[in-house]
Amino acid sequence: MNHIDAVITWVDGRDPAHQRRLAAFLAERGGDRPATAHATRFDSADEIDYCVASIQRYAPWFRRIYIVTDRQTPAVVRRLAGTAWSERVRVVDHGEIFAGFEAFLPTFNSRAIISLLWRIPGLAERFVYFNDDMLLLRPVRDKDFFHDNALVLRGRWRLQSSYSWSQWLARTRARHGAEDEANSRDAQEAAARLVGYRTRYFRLYHSPHALLRSSLEAFFAARPRLLEANVRHRLRSSQQFKVEGLAAHLALANGNAVVDRHLRVVQLDPAARGIGDLRQRMGHADAHADDAFACVQSLDMASADVAREIKGWLDRRVYPEAALR
């Protein structure tokens, strides 16, 4: 059977064992604590509960849900014990996918981890990668991610920064402010160049990404040093490329991609947006069925009142019993 799996990356930054591992690495590294080790990169505000529940409710056709983490088990897995989903949700330790790269563990770098998701034992050929802050807002089908083996991509074509004055200026400004945004753009541009796209790149939205295991396996089998270079950084680095971007450009170059301009993602970032903006976005999603995905970034940085309002909305959208209240 042509199964499809869901893969979620997750970390609980408030776990004392995780904090000790990170502190030991930073002490060994020396110097000031970099922005790439800011607590918000690792803190969990129960986003994974919504991620898993939304898959169960809106995409029960996934064969399995793999949760990739470092010697941790989210509470949602324990709550599923004894249910029909208990055999379909599996925790995968970093040690399993970093086999042969153990020298780069522990890692605190999501890009390094995503680079190796295709090595999950037993993973289906077709899989969808979710960050733990991504979730579904409505029923979706397998065809919303794959047309046969063609990847469904969500994003838009942009000029590479070196060919666009406005992009270069925006990137320069971002490096003096929103450094994370600039670094993400650079990493997507770098992925495009690896496939031969020099003047433009397909900028992916922050929504679940369709991936083919064999495509990544074949690409890195021919370039093992490139893979090692991308996973060796234990904190996010400007020298890395985004593997989800690599997968997208491989599919585009091979004529194995379909661009979807129908289903949209609702971006909720309470650390960067006011409550009025957030309410408008949530209201738009309630009124428009095409708003199929949500990404709730840095919920841990929201005030208690804002976090409560966002979680209340997520409860109504994800949990059937909450919608009846």
CA terminus-to-terminus distance, the chain:
40
> Mean pLDDT throughout 270-293?
95
Domain count, the chain: 2
- What is the β-pairing status of strands 150-153 and 257-259? parallel
- Within a domain: 271: no
**pLDDT over 90 for what percent of the chain?**
81
Q: In terms of pLDDT, which residue wins out, 203 or 32?
A: 203
Cis peptide before 16, with omega less than 30 degrees from 0? no
Cβ partners under 8 Å of residue 247, min gap 6: 151, 209, 211, 212, 215, 216
Whole-angstrom distance, CA of residue 71 vs CA of residue 292: 32
Do both 70 and 108 map to the same domain? yes
Do both 14 and 137 map to the same domain? yes
The residue range of the domain holding 192 is: 157-203
Cβ partners under 8 Å of residue 100, min gap 6: none
320 pLDDT tier (thresholds 50, 70, 90): confident
Do both 76 and 171 map to the same domain? no
In SS3 terms, the chain reads as CCCEEEEEECCCCCCHHHHHHHHHHHHHHCCCCCHHHCHHHCCCCCHHHHHHHHHHHHCCCCCCEEEEECCCCCHHHHHCCCCCCCCCEEEEEHHHHCCCCHHHCCCCCHHHHHCCHHHCCCCCCEEEEEECCEEECCCCCHHHCEECCEEEECEEEEECHHHCHHHHHHHHHHHCCCHHHHHHHHHHHHHHHHCCCCCEEEEECCCCEEEEHHHHHHHHHCCHHHHHHHHCCCCCCCCCCCHHHHHHHHHHHCCCEEECCCCEEEEECCCCCCHHHHHHHHHHHHHCCCEEEEEECCHHHCCHHHHHHHHHHHHHHHCHHHHCC
Q: In terms of pLDDT, which residue wins out, 151 or 43?
A: 151
Whole-angstrom distance, CA of residue 209 vs CA of residue 131: 9
pLDDT number for residue 1: 55
Do both 134 and 219 map to the same domain? yes
Query: Chain-wide mean pLDDT for the chain?
Result: 92
Across 39-43, 44-48, 143-147, 228-232, least confident range: 39-43
Q: Is the pLDDT of residue 58 over 90?
A: yes
Do both 73 and 164 map to the same domain? no
Q: Is the pLDDT of residue 317 over 80?
A: yes
Do both 81 and 211 map to the same domain? yes
- Within a domain: 273: no
- Within a domain: 90: yes
pLDDT number for residue 260: 94
- Within a domain: 284: no
pLDDT number for residue 168: 55
pLDDT number for residue 176: 43
Q: Is 170 exposed, middle or buried (0-12, 13-18, 19+ CB in 10 A)?
A: middle
- Within a domain: 314: no
Do both 148 and 169 map to the same domain? no
Across 178-192, 229-243, 249-263, least confident range: 178-192
Instruction: Tell which of 243, 262, 281 closes a domain.
Output: 262
- Within a domain: 285: no
- Within a domain: 304: no
Please write the tens of the pLDDT for every residue from 87-126: 999 999 999 999 999 999 999 999 999 999 999 999 999 9
Instruction: Tell which of 188, 203, 218 closes a domain.
Output: 203
Do both 176 and 69 map to the same domain? no
> Mean pLDDT throughout 142-148?
96
Structure pTM?
0.92
Q: Which two tokens stand for residue 189?
A: 């541009």
pLDDT number for residue 324: 41
Residue with tokens 């400007």: 238
Do both 105 and 166 map to the same domain? no
For residue 52, give the nearest of 74, 70, 72 by alpha carbon.
Answer: 74
Cβ partners under 8 Å of residue 120, min gap 6: 7, 66, 68, 92, 96, 97
- Within a domain: 194: yes
Q: φ, ψ for residue 209 (rounded to 5)?
A: -115, 130
Do both 182 and 243 map to the same domain? no
The answer to whether 314 and 296 are in contact (CB under 8 A) is yes
> Which CATH number do you get for residue 58?
3.90.550
Q: Is the pLDDT of residue 213 over 50?
A: yes
Do both 142 and 112 map to the same domain? yes
Q: Is the pLDDT of residue 203 over 90?
A: yes
Do both 27 and 122 map to the same domain? yes
Q: Is the pLDDT of residue 177 over 50?
A: no
pLDDT number for residue 174: 52
